[in-house]
Chain A
Amino acid sequence: MFAPGFAPRRVVVTGMGIASPLGLGVEHVWKRLINGESGISAIQSFDVKDLPAKIAGQVPHGSKAEHGLDLNEWIPVKEQKKMARFIHLAWVAAAEAIEDSGWAPEDEEGRRATGVMIGSGIGGLETIQEAGALVANGRTRRLSPFFIPSALVNLASGQVSIRYGFKGPNHSAVTACATGVHAIGDAARLIALGDADVMVAGGAEAAICELGIGGFCAARALSTGFNDRPQAASRPWDRDRDGFVMGEGAGVLVLEEYEHARRRGAKIYAEVIGYGMSGDAHHITAPAEDGDGGYRAMKAALRSAGLSPADVQYVNAHGTSTPMGDDIELAAVERLWGDAAKGLAMSSTKSATGHLLGAAGAVEGIFSILAVRDGVAPPTLNLENPSRESPIDRVAKTAQERPIRVALSNSFGFGGTNASVIFRGAP
Chain B
Amino acid sequence: MSETADKVKKIVVEHLGVEEAKVTPEASFIDDLGADSLDTVELVMAFEEAFGVEIPDDAAEKIQTVKDAIEFIEKQQASA
CB pair B17 A145 closer than 8 Å? no
B42's closest neighbor in chain A, by CB? A145
Residues of B within 8 A of A146 (CB): 38, 42
CB pair A78 B16 closer than 8 Å? yes
B16's closest neighbor in chain A, by CB? A78
User: How would you classify the secondary structure of chain B's contact residues: helix, strand, loop or mixed?
Assistant: helix
In the complex, B15 has a CB within 8 A of chain A: yes
Scan A124-153; emit 1 where CB is below 8 A from any B CB, else 0. 000000000000000000101110010000
Residues of A within 8 A of B38 (CB): 82, 145-146, 149
B49's closest neighbor in chain A, by CB? A142
Residues of B within 8 A of A145 (CB): 38, 41-42, 45
In the complex, A1 has a CB within 8 A of chain B: no
* Chain A to chain B contacts (Cβ below 8 Å), 18 pairs: A76-B17, A77-B17, A78-B15, A78-B16, A78-B17, A78-B39, A82-B38, A142-B45, A142-B49, A144-B42, A144-B45, A145-B38, A145-B41, A145-B42, A145-B45, A146-B38, A146-B42, A149-B38
**CA–CA, A23 and B57, complex, Å:** 45
Residues of A within 8 A of B42 (CB): 144-146
**CA–CA, A262 and B44, complex, Å:** 52
**CA–CA, A173 and B49, complex, Å:** 38
Residues of A within 8 A of B16 (CB): 78
User: How would you classify the secondary structure of chain A's contact residues: helix, strand, loop or mixed?
Assistant: loop
B37's closest neighbor in chain A, by CB? A145
B20 CB → nearest A CB, Å: 14
A139 CB → nearest B CB, Å: 10
A292 CB → nearest B CB, Å: 48
A72 CB → nearest B CB, Å: 11
B residues apposed to A, CB below 8 Å: 15-17, 38-39, 41-42, 45, 49
3 shortest interchain CB distances as A-B pairs: A78-B17, A145-B41, A145-B38
Residues of B within 8 A of A78 (CB): 15-17, 39
**CA–CA, A178 and B42, complex, Å:** 36
Residues of A within 8 A of B15 (CB): 78
**CA–CA, A218 and B17, complex, Å:** 41
Scan A68-88; emit 1 where CB is below 8 A from any B CB, else 0. 000000001110001000000
Known: A82-B38, A146-B38, A149-B38. 6 other contacts (CB 8 A): A76-B17, A78-B15, A78-B17, A142-B49, A144-B42, A144-B45
Residues of B within 8 A of A77 (CB): 17
B70 CB → nearest A CB, Å: 21
**CA–CA, A109 and B38, complex, Å:** 31
B12 CB → nearest A CB, Å: 11
A144's closest neighbor in chain B, by CB? B42
B13 CB → nearest A CB, Å: 10
Scan A299-341; emit 1 where CB is below 8 A from any B CB, else 0. 0000000000000000000000000000000000000000000
B36 CB → nearest A CB, Å: 10
**CA–CA, A76 and B45, complex, Å:** 21
**CA–CA, A318 and B1, complex, Å:** 62
A388 CB → nearest B CB, Å: 55
Scan residues 81-120 of chain A and give those whose CB is less than 8 A from a CB of chain B: 82
B79 CB → nearest A CB, Å: 21
**CA–CA, A41 and B65, complex, Å:** 48
A206 CB → nearest B CB, Å: 22
A139's closest neighbor in chain B, by CB? B49
A77's closest neighbor in chain B, by CB? B17
**CA–CA, A82 and B35, complex, Å:** 13
B45's closest neighbor in chain A, by CB? A142
B9 CB → nearest A CB, Å: 16
Residues of B within 8 A of A149 (CB): 38
**CA–CA, A82 and B38, complex, Å:** 10
**CA–CA, A82 and B45, complex, Å:** 15
